[in-house]
Amino acid sequence: MSNKTEFHNSENNNPSNRRDFLKNAALFGVATCVSTALVSSCTEQKTTSSNRSQNENTMPVIRERRTLGKDSAAMEVSALGFGVMGMNYHRGAHPDEKAMIKLAHEVVERGVTLFDTAETYGPFVNEELAGKALAEFKGKIAVTTKFGFNYAGNKKNEMPAQPNSKPERIREMVEASLKRLNIDVIELLYQHRFDPHVPIEDVAGTVKDLIAEGKVKHFGLCEVGAETIRKAHAIQPVTAIQSEYHLMWREVEKEVLPLCEELGIGFVPYSPLNRGFLTGAINEYTSFGSGNDNRNILPRFTPEAIRANLRIVEELNKFGRTRGITIAQVALGWLLQKAPFIVPIPGTTKLSHLEENLRTLDFTFSAQVWSELETAVEKITIVSERYPASEQKQVQK
C-alpha cells in the first residue's frame, strides 16, 4: 500500500485530516483577548428550527475595514479578502461549480468585500466563475483582476503565456474581463507580471486612461520592485501592490513595504498560507495529484523541501496551541499585525476553513509576543526557492 496521501484543496478528503486535528487541539489552548473586528452572527448556541445549521449560525462576520491607497486612489475593503483562484484553478480537484458559487455567497455574507481573480487563471475560467458567483453583489463588493500575459484575441495562444502589457493588449483584456466578470467597472486592475519590453510608464498611462474612461477604478501592480513602483506611481497613483508574503517569504520587507508606507500604497499578500503549507495539512508524503495543481512544479513542495521546512510549521503550532489558535490563524494573524494597510487574500473551497480564517480577527497579541515568534522563525533556514527558474524570471525583488 502506498504511504502517499492524496491532497486536494489544502486538506485531505478524510474529515479527520491533519489540519482539523491541529485546529481542534489548538482550541483546547488558553483563550486570548477577543477584538471587535468580528461580530458573531449568533450570540449563543441554541436549538433552532431554521434551515440554517448551528455551525452557520455561529459563523463570524467581519467588521474591520482597511484602506488600500490614499486620496483619489483610496479603496476601503474588509480586513481579509478572498482569493478565488483555487476554486477552479491550480489547486487539484475541485468541488462542482454550484458548490463554489454557494461558498462565494457565504463569503460575501460573512462581510468579505475584496475578491481576487485574474485573466490567466485557467485562462479565463476563474474570471467566469467569479462572474457567475459575484455579479449579483455589484456595488457591495470589489472584484479585482489582472492583465499582463499574451492572450491576444482572448485565446490561449502559446502556453505558458508570455508577458504582454502592450496598451492594446491591456485594453483588449479589460473589455473581455468586464464581460466574463459581468460587471460595469473593474474596481482594481493589476499588472500581473512586469513586461520587460513595455515601459512601466506606458502601462500606468494606459490604466490612467481606462480610469478616466470609467472602465477601471484603481490601479495595482504585482511582484514588482521599488523602482518600478515609484515610476508607475508618478504616472497613475497606485492603490495596492500584490506580492507573495508570509513567514516563509519576507523579501518585501526590505524595500517594497517601506515604500508602500511612504507613498500610501496598500499591500495585498497572496498565498498568505503558502499554498496550504502554513496550515499543518501538508507533509512529505502528501501527493498533489496530477494536472491542475502547480505545487507539483514548485521547488518548495518537493518531499525533501517539505521535510526540511516543517520546522517552521512546528514553531507556529507551538505558538498557537498555548494561545488557543490554529497554525493557519497564527500565519494570518502575523500578517495582519504587520501594518494597517495589509489585506491578505486567503482562498479556500471549504466552509470550515473560511470560518477558521475569519476567526483570526478574533485574536490580538502584543507586538512583543509577535516579535518572539519572529525571532524563533528567523533561526530556521528555509529550504529551496519559491518558484522554478522560468517563473522566477517574471518577478522582481
Structural domain includes residue 72: yes
Q: Which domain holds residue 187?
A: 15-38+63-392
- For the question of residue 121 being annotated catalytic, the response is yes
How many folded domains does the chain comprise?
Answer: 1
244 in any annotated domain: yes
* CA–CA distance, 316 with 296 (Å, rounded to integer): 24
CA distance 159 to 152: 12
Burial of 86 from C-beta contacts in 10 A (0-12 / 13-18 / 19+): buried
Is residue 209 a part of any domain in this protein? Answer: yes
Q: Out of 89, 121, 245, 270, which one is annotated catalytic?
A: 121
Backbone angles phi, psi at 77, to 5 degrees: -140, 170
Rg over CA atoms, the chain: 20
Preceding peptide of 123 cis, ω within 30° = yes
Residue with cell 499588472: 191
Query: For residue 46, is it within any domain?
Result: no
- In sequence order, what are the beta bridge partners of 270? 244
CATH number of the domain residue 321 falls in: 3.20.20.100
Each residue's pLDDT tens digit in the chain (397 positions)? 434 333 333 333 333 344 554 455 444 343 333 444 665 443 333 222 222 233 445 789 999 999 999 999 999 999 999 999 999 986 666 679 999 999 999 999 999 999 999 999 989 999 999 999 999 999 999 999 999 999 977 777 666 789 999 999 999 999 999 999 999 999 999 999 999 999 999 999 999 999 999 999 999 999 999 999 999 999 999 999 999 999 999 999 999 999 999 999 999 999 999 999 999 999 999 888 766 687 888 999 999 999 999 999 999 999 999 999 999 999 999 999 999 999 999 999 999 999 999 999 999 999 999 999 999 999 999 999 997 777 777 787 6
Residue 5 included in any domain: no
Is 111 inside any structural domain?
yes
Predicted TM-score (pTM) above 0.95: no
Q: Three-state DSSP class for 80?
A: coil
- Residue 52 is assigned to a structural domain of this protein: no
Taking Cα atoms as reference points, which of 158, 89, 95 lies closest to residue 124?
Answer: 89
Q: Is residue 261 part of a domain?
A: yes
All three cell numbers of 57, joined, read 449560525
Instruction: Name, in order, each residue with C-beta under 8 angstroms of 393's C-beta and a sequence gap of 6 or more.
Output: none
